[in-house]
Amino acid sequence: MINMEIDLSLIGMEKGRQYETIITTQNSDGVKNAAPIGVLCSGPDTILNRIFKGSHTLDNIISQKEFVVNITHSPELFTSSLLETLDDSCYNEDLSLKGCDAYFKCNAISFTEAVKQSDPIKKKGEAIIIKSKVVELNVNKDTMAFNRGFGYVIESLTNFSRFDLIDGELKEFYIKRFKETYRVVNKVGTKDDIKAMHKIKKELKAKGHDL
Ligand SMILES: Cc1cc2nc3c(=O)[nH]c(=O)nc-3n(C[C@H](O)[C@H](O)[C@H](O)COP(=O)(O)O)c2cc1C
């Protein structure tokens, strides 16, 4: 790992965009935990997380005020950190995950109760927004933090290319799916992803679909 100057753009993180990461934390007894969590980049050395109450990650960040954000494109790491408990041998001594492309250490600065009305999960007071400062950035290999936007653009394009071949319920399903992916890309995607989704929407409207 190479210790870098603290600038999240070095790992492809743009201000205002959300990235999917694995956050590693530990509790006061040193029990380690890993979970996939979205990270909103709010500046070159600041991030925001919105974490639902009841998770180990939130409890550990509240009690320790420190955590590690791991950057990886490994489906296995994402899946096992959600569905299983990672063995201690998966962690390095500094709490980062073995095999990640890059990681950064954060100190939590503030905690705010919040909900976002556009979100599918709307219950008030169920989540905490955590603002944190990045205090160390380490890069193992050239990498870009994972953003969901591009995957949705490709999925929307694939569905678009099938539109004239399908009908009825499946078409309805694709339209519903497009509306949801459009919402998500506008929230998390890069400028280019958003531009692409606008174009697809325009074409769908031109075909007479109600969007
Ligand atoms: C890609 C991905 C991103 C996620 N982002 C968040 C998030 O930003 N906030 C959150 O509260 N949960 C998020 N989750 C859900 C948590 O990972 C999940 O609730 C997990 O069980 C929490 O684990 P823990 O109790 O070990 O902390 C995400 C899940 C996935 C798969």
Query: Measuring from atom 19 of ligand 1, which residue has the nearest CA?
Result: 55
Alpha carbon nearest to ligand 1 atom 17, residue: 36
DSSP alpha helix (H) spans, 52-207? 56-64, 75-83, 149-162, 168-188, 191-206
Length of the chain (residues): 211
Lookup: tokens for 109: 């600065």
Q: Is 93 among the domain residues?
A: yes
Tokens of 177: 């799916």
Dist CA 101 CA 52 (whole Å): 26
> What pLDDT is attached to residue 164?
85
Q: How many independent structural domains does the chain possess?
A: 2
Distance 157 CA to ligand 1 centre (A): 28
Nearest CA to ligand 1 atom 30: 36
Q: How far apart are CA 39 and CA 69, in angstroms?
A: 8
CA-CA distances (angstroms) from residue 170 to 79, 158, 180? 29, 14, 15
**Of 105, 139, 173, which residue sits at a domain end?**
139
Report if residue 116 sits inside a domain. yes
117 alpha-carbon distance from chain centroid: 18
In a domain, 26, yes or no: yes
Ligand 1: residue whose CA is nearest its atom 10? 51
The domain boundary, picked from 108, 139, 170, lies at 139
In this predicted structure, what is the pLDDT of residue 112? Answer: 96
Atom of ligand 1 nearest to the CA of 23: 27
What span, in angstroms and rounded, lies between the C-alpha atoms of 52 and 49?
Answer: 10
What is the domain-level CATH number for residue 124?
2.30.110.10
Q: What is the pLDDT of residue 196?
A: 98
Q: Tens-digit pLDDT profile for the chain (211 aa)?
A: 798 899 999 999 999 999 999 999 999 999 999 999 999 999 999 999 999 999 999 999 999 999 999 999 999 999 999 999 999 999 999 999 999 999 999 999 999 998 655 555 555 668 999 999 999 999 999 999 999 999 999 999 999 999 889 888 888 999 999 999 999 999 999 999 999 999 999 999 998 888 8
Question: Using CA positions, which residue lies closest to atom 8 of ligand 1?
Answer: 38
Separation of CA 20 and ligand 1 centre (Å)? 10
- Which of 86, 115, 139 corresponds to the end of one domain? 139
36 and 127 both lie in a single domain: yes
Q: Which domain holds residue 18?
A: 2-139
Q: Which of 70, 82, 119 to mutate to test the pocket of ligand 1 (most atoms within 8 A of CB)?
A: 82
What are 143's strand-pairing partners? none
Between CA 127 and CA 168, with CA 181 as vertex, the angle to 5 degrees is 130
Please give all residues whose beta carbon lies within 6 A of any atom in ligand 1, as ranges: 20, 33, 35-38, 50-52, 55-57, 82
Residue 2 in tokens:
């190479």
CA 69 / ligand 1 centre spacing (Å) = 13
Residue 211, in any domain of the structure:
no
Number of CB atoms found within 10 A of residue 37's CB: 24
